[in-house]
Chains A and B, each alone.
Chain A
Amino acid sequence: MGELVLAEGGVFVPPGAKDFFLPPIFGGVTKPMVLVVLSVIIIGVFFLLATRSFKLVPSKFQFIAESVYDMGRNSIAREQIGGKDFKPFVPLIVTLFTFILVNNLFGIIPIIQFPTMSHIGFPLAVAVLVVYPVYHFVGFKRHGFVGYLRNQLFPPGVPKPVYILLAPIEFFSKFIMNPITLAIRVFAAMFAGHLILLVFTLAGEYLLLEAGGLLKPVSLLSFAFAIAMTFLEALIQVIQAYIFALLSASYIGMALASDH
């Protein structure tokens, strides 16, 4: 779309929200939809292949798979949920981490170059329809309806009158905001990151093709920035996946904990 505009008027149009809504590839199927399916296939095949013939002394491939699984299992799930209860949640946490990670990394993989999570529907589906029900469900199951509400809304160690303020805030944050912020965090980071890459790349392209002779070399600077930002994006994409899994595990851990 940007190129179309450039061809028409030769005026630089900064990239915006429209660049995230590419025309469908066929029928109603859009690029992010294909990418989500692709990510599921990549992760599933990766783990199934890695775990097919496990050995006590790992091969290189198995070692990589183990490192990823260990990260979700030990440094996220066990740390946040606690050594006693974390086992049943390991698949969920590892899936969250790898799913978000691969979909984020799509943003800097050549040709694909689109972070699926910059479409808010996907993180929202995972956060609101998976993580949110899971942690409240296990909380209610562990402590009973009243016990769980008391646990969550009336944290101990606070003077009684403060509860008038604190309980509604806790309710608002735990039952309404947590899943939404979880989704928005990764969405916003991916959206903004992709936009920054677009700005530098399109600006570089525009400067190279349309700008006056003296300004043309500046496009190199713009491309260099685009490359530097790509590295930064890679970091942010991994961090966002980690944070998503970490916070999900933390919510589950808080729901299960007996005292606040």
Chain B
Amino acid sequence: MVNTLILAAEGTPSPVLPHTSEIILGLIAFLLLLWVMQKFVAPRFEALYSERAAKIEGGIERAEQAQAQAQKMLDEYKEQLAEARAEAARIRDDARAEGTQIVEELREQAQAESARIVAQGQHQLDAQRAQIVAELRADLGKVAVQLAGKVVGEALEDEARRRGTVDRFLNELDAVAAPATK
């Protein structure tokens, strides 16, 4: 056993001492792999990543655009809706105002009409009254003069004086009658 141990110790180098051939081979192998990675593998990965990033960013951009467009349309619709509402309200107000105006006008018309009718009636009445008064006055004057002539026994020759007397009498009569009509 001692022999084998010694043999083993003699035959095997210390594990912490590197073999020159292994260092060289390890270095070459590693550098070769590094070259392959640097030259072929990494560029392909990076190209893929940038392509993917571009695609995703493009997608995000498109989505943002679509969103902005949708927002714009929504705003437009809202605006239109608000406009429509305002217009409807305005139309309603207008209609209401117009209605009141029409009613007012109609009332005014009716009032005017009634006033006109009343005035016309009044007018007619006045005219009739004036006519009646004039007729009566003439008749009354004549009758009164005749009566007076008969009573006095003679015709009153002085026209001017006769008229003055009758007119004065009638005016007095009017003055008495006026407060009563008011």
Give residues in A with beta carbon < 8 Å to B: 1, 5, 8-9, 11, 13, 16-18, 20-21, 28, 32-33, 36-37, 39-40, 43-44, 47-48, 51, 54, 56, 66, 69, 73, 87, 90-92, 94-95, 98-99, 118-126, 129-130, 191
How many chain B residues sit at the interface, stated as a range, is 35 or more
Q: Are B27 and A119 in contact (CB under 8 A)?
A: no
B96 interface residue (CB < 8 Å to A): no
Stretch touching chain A among B32-40, B107-115, B117-125, B155-163: B32-40
Stretch touching chain A among B9-17, B82-90, B135-143, B166-174: B9-17
Give residues in B with beta carbon < 8 Å to A: 1, 4-5, 8-9, 11-27, 29-34, 36-38, 40-42, 44-48, 51-52, 55
For this complex, 26 residue pairs linking A to B, each with C-beta atoms less than 8 Å apart, are: A1-B8, A5-B4, A8-B4, A16-B8, A17-B14, A21-B11, A33-B25, A37-B25, A40-B30, A40-B33, A44-B36, A47-B40, A48-B40, A54-B47, A56-B52, A90-B42, A91-B34, A91-B38, A91-B41, A94-B42, A95-B33, A120-B16, A120-B18, A121-B20, A126-B26, A130-B34
A192 to chain B, nearest CB (A): 11
Q: Which residue of A lies closest to B38 (CB)?
A: A91
Q: Are B34 and A92 in contact (CB under 8 A)?
A: yes
Distance A118 CA – B25 CA, assembled complex (angstroms):
15
A17 to chain B, nearest CB (A): 5
Q: Which residue of A lies closest to B34 (CB)?
A: A95
Among A20, A37, A124, contact of B18 (Cβ-Cβ < 8 Å): A124
Q: Are A119 and B22 in contact (CB under 8 A)?
A: yes
Hey, which chain A residues are within 8 Å of B1, CB to CB? 9, 11, 13
Among A18, A48, A56, A87, contact of B36 (Cβ-Cβ < 8 Å): A48
Q: Are B22 and A125 in contact (CB under 8 A)?
A: yes
Given contacts A33-B25, A99-B30, A126-B30, contact A121 B19 (CB under 8 A): yes
Interface centre among A37, A44, A99, A125 (most CB of B within 10 A): A125
